[in-house]
Amino acid sequence: MPLVIGVLVETHPGERRLSVVPDVVKKYQGLGAWVVMQKGAGLPAHFRDADFAEVTLVDRADEVCAEADVVFCVQPPAPATLAALKPGSVLLGLLQPWASAERARQLAERGVTAFALELLPRISRAQSMDVLSSQGAVAGYECALIAADHSPKFFPMLTYAAGTIRPAKVLVIGAGVAGLQAIATARRIGAMVEAYDVRPETREQVESLGAKFVDTGVAAAGSGGYARELTDEEKAKQAERLSRAVAQCDALITTAALPGRPAPRIIGADMIARMKPGAVVVDMAADSGGNVEGTVAGDKVWINDVLVIGPTNIPSRMPVHASEMLAKNLFNFISPFIRDGALALDWEDEVISGSCLTHAGEIRHPGVKQALGL
């Protein structure tokens, strides 16, 4: 029997992405695998059932789980769907491993081998599998557009019959993948862009995109490509110097996030109070508590005369390309272990061992176990 890959309808509120796209399905079929998909799974991402040639379509999630050896998801499936997974099957996707001890226990007790792509090791070989980076790029692009759409000012310089209007000034905080994409997009639209990151090595990347780097004198390079948490003294120094740049911008985009932890609070109410009337703030970290004091996840709020926007699940705003990127990430993760139409996981492989959440009845990832108190 060939390996059967299952694709579910996403049930998380507002989720529009899909874990496979037609071109990637053909690649799985070329490896000797077969795909079973729940009817209508692709419709929120604008893929019709008819777009998936030679895929077996079924009506319900439990029918997918009954047949599939490997099940793909974008967001964690509902508990009833997890209960329908075959013992010994594989679940692969963005599983929010730090969010629910109950879900981790259920997967372990069910005997499911679960790979959470949030746990993917930050190594060069894993870059093509890095869902956080690919979806972060989508989020950065979208946040620049959200800022431009809500700003009362033109982003680009505009010359008209009576004179010239200066371009808007945008400040991006955080120069990871999402922040760099926000910088690049705001620059393409024509804004003057400044950017700040606690990791000094990002200065060159920021400047290569045509933005000015804001130097606060605080450096916090951490392990695995992420920033470490700042001390109280460093936070005070950062806030003092950053406050000046915030006060001068027309649009502020914050992108600082720490996987599995609340987002660091960077912009306080005092900084918001100093911003220009009509300024716009887009807090990309709203899902995890926000970088900005006063952010409301999923809503827009006025603080004095500053509009603070807290968009959630941002990549779902652009589901076609976000799904294409995510589907390729999943393919690059699992395809090296599909041989002659069967799955052969290599537990000596750093990618496999490092991203494993549960296996053989156990919660395997030590960091998750510690965070969840298990």
> Residue 26's domain spans which residues?
4-119+319-372
Last residue of a domain, one of 280, 312, 344: 312
251 and 334 housed in the same domain: no
306 and 336 housed in the same domain: no
Cβ atoms of 357 and 114 closer than 8 Å: yes
Q: What is the pTM of this model?
A: 0.91
Q: Which residues are catalytic?
A: 122, 127, 130, 133, 226
Cβ atoms of 64 and 58 closer than 8 Å: yes
Cβ atoms of 295 and 310 closer than 8 Å: yes
pLDDT digits (tens, 9 = 90+) for 3-42: 999 999 999 999 999 999 999 999 999 999 999 999 999 9
Question: Where residue 219 falls among pLDDT bands split at 50, 70, 90?
Answer: low
pLDDT digits (tens, 9 = 90+) for 119-135: 999 899 999 999 999 99
Residue 324 is assigned to a structural domain of this protein: yes
What is the pLDDT, as a whole number, of residue 317? 96
Number of structural domains (the chain) is 2
Residue 125 is assigned to a structural domain of this protein: no
Question: Helix axis angle, 22-30 relative to 319-334, nearest 10°?
Answer: 20
Backbone angles phi, psi at 121, to 5 degrees: -60, 140
Instruction: Give the mean model confidence (pLDDT) for residues 185-209.
Output: 94
271 and 211 housed in the same domain: yes
Residue 198 is assigned to a structural domain of this protein: yes
Q: By C-alpha distance, which of 102, 134, 120 is closest to 19?
A: 134
Distance between CA atoms of residues 188 and 249, nearest Å: 17
pLDDT digits (tens, 9 = 90+) for 37-79: 999 999 999 999 999 988 999 999 999 999 999 999 999 999 9
